[in-house]
Amino acid sequence: MASISTSRTLFFSHSTKLFFSPFKPSSSFSFLPLQFSRTTCTLQHQQQQPLLRRNIIEILEERGLLESITSDALRSASSDPIAAPLKVYCGFDPTAESLHLGNLLGLIVLSWFRRCGHRPVALIGGATARVGDPSGKSLERPELDADSLEKNTVGISNTIRRILGRAQNSNLDELNVSGSSSVLILNNYEWWKEFSLLDFLKRVGRYARVGSMMAKESVRKRLESEQGMSYTEFTYQLLQGYDFLHLFQNEGVSVQIGGSDQWGNITAGTELIRKILQVEGAYGLTFPLLLKSDGTKFGKSEDGAIWLSPSFLSPYKFYQYFFSVSDADVIRFLKILTFLDIQEIVSLEGEMMKPGYVPNTAQRRLAEEVTQFVHGEEGLTEALKATEALRPGSETKLDWKTIEGIAEDVPSRSLAYDEVLNLSLVDLSVSSGLFDSKSAARRLLKQGGLYLNNNRVDSESKRIEAADIVDGKVLLLSAGKKNKVLVRIA
């Protein structure tokens, strides 16, 4: 299948014809006369004025969140004042129990559609995860057992519901789209579990052209590799394509979004809809992959993936990851990973160039906005409290909950109460593993760099008292700003 690129827009070309998809409004939606501000799509009541819906495609372009669309007709369909809101879906295969940073852009783009009055749909790939998406992969994914799939499905469904279900805009209730009731989460296993091979070949396979399937970039790269590709993975694009057809036909979903590596899978869906249902009005949209300025993937730390579930990665560590973003990346990430007004981001960029700019001011804003989006106000408060409380010399009083919030992020050692009580701080610093020797501990202490529960210790004779043990459970030792050890009292 050939493609024509014009102003970042891709149109389908098939048999030398260009296909434009006129939008067909659904009678199942009703909406109010509202107005959307240019940047945030904030809804406002208007008296006897038509609905003005901010063009979501323009927003995504402005923020660097648009790679390609299958038809320019999506621009008018997404802002048509007399059309019903679009239903937009993004798929998430349950290959792990939590989503990770690579999935975040999908949730953000869904949220932008939602902020502009459209309806987000999250599709859990309970069926497609059993096959494995070859896009961007050099090897076939390992097969998951049924119990793991179920556990993963529950985990990522909860993450999606928590993030997308949280009210992102106080005015969204004007369209009755606030709260978790506005987030539709489906599982494609529900319609694939009854499909037989003969059904698949008859209802889907007969409309697929092997030449077009092999021309997809994700397939072509694998076929050219030494590992090759199994027939199972080869059919993945048809499974995802039929998902779009099913959602289009049964749920009124007319837009599928995904990362740029999903282009082949998404266009497989729009083709099937056009061929099998013989209707127009299905659109695909892709956004760029999350990469750093040097071209490497953004979303990996020294310890592995950056998870979106607080059970896998604490809000504190999540916050710290974004706080550490380089100056070269921070402005672009503010545009694509936050909902801040563009003018505010431009202002921040200008401040970075001025004398007297406080280092990491932009990073701090990025970390606050993304943490709030993923973990909510409570998670952001926890991250900020831990960040401040764990700063050596901070006057913030430590409590057990705050320390536990970073327990997985620092080395720890368990010691009996009797071993700790009345032990000299120098000895404890060695037995806990903070220092290799007493001489090293004494040297830093004399330099003013040894802290107990964030309080600087000046006396070499300091011994641990009962009052030093936070809530009777833990002690926090710090050597300078970064090296810490958590001592658990057994």
Dihedral Cα 396, 398, 402, 408, nearest 10 deg: 120
Query: If pLDDT is split at 50, 70 and 90, which confidence band does 393 have?
Result: low
Q: What is the pLDDT of residue 244?
A: 95
Q: What is the pLDDT of residue 392?
A: 63
Burial 430-446 (b: 16+ CB within 10 A, else e): bebebbeeeeebeebbe
**Looking at per-residue confidence, does 179 or 147 come out higher?**
147
3-state secondary structure of 263: helix
Q: Say if CB 164 and CB 156 are below 8 A apart.
A: no
Task: Indicate yes or no: pTM above 0.75.
Answer: yes
Nearest to 112 by CA among 170, 152, 164, 34: 164
Examine the pLDDT at 314 and tell me if it is beyond 80.
yes
Mean pLDDT, rounded, for 43-57: 55
255-283: per-residue pLDDT in tens? 999 999 899 889 999 999 999 999 999 99
Mean pLDDT comparison of 15-19, 47-51, 181-185, 202-206, highest-scoring range: 202-206
**Looking at per-residue confidence, does 322 or 127 come out higher?**
322
Q: What is the pLDDT of residue 44?
A: 41
Q: What is the pLDDT of residue 270?
A: 94
Q: What is the pLDDT of residue 224?
A: 77
Query: If pLDDT is split at 50, 70 and 90, which confidence band does 382 have?
Result: confident
Write down the mean pLDDT value for the chain: 81
Nearest to 345 by CA among 366, 371, 326, 319: 366
HEC readout, 148-214: HHHHHHHHHHHHHHHHHHCCCCCCHHHHCCCCHHHCEEEECHHHHCCCCHHHHHHHCHHHCCHHHHH
CB-based contacts of 55: which residues, under 8 Å, 6+ apart?
A: 75, 78, 79
DSSP code at position 262: G
The residue type at 207: Y
Query: If pLDDT is split at 50, 70 and 90, which confidence band does 139 have?
Result: low
Q: What is the pLDDT of residue 143?
A: 73
164-218: per-residue pLDDT in tens? 987 444 444 444 444 444 689 999 999 988 888 888 888 888 887 887 777 777 7
Task: Please tell me the least confidently modeled range out of 7-11, 168-172, 183-187, 250-254.
Answer: 7-11
Q: Is the alpha carbon torsion for 221, 223, 227, 233 positive or negative?
A: positive
Mean pLDDT, rounded, for 408-427: 86
Which residue stretches of 252-360 are H helix? 263-272, 315-323, 327-337, 342-352
Examine the pLDDT at 1 and tell me if it is beyond 80.
no
**Backbone phi, psi, residue 308, to 5°:** -95, -10
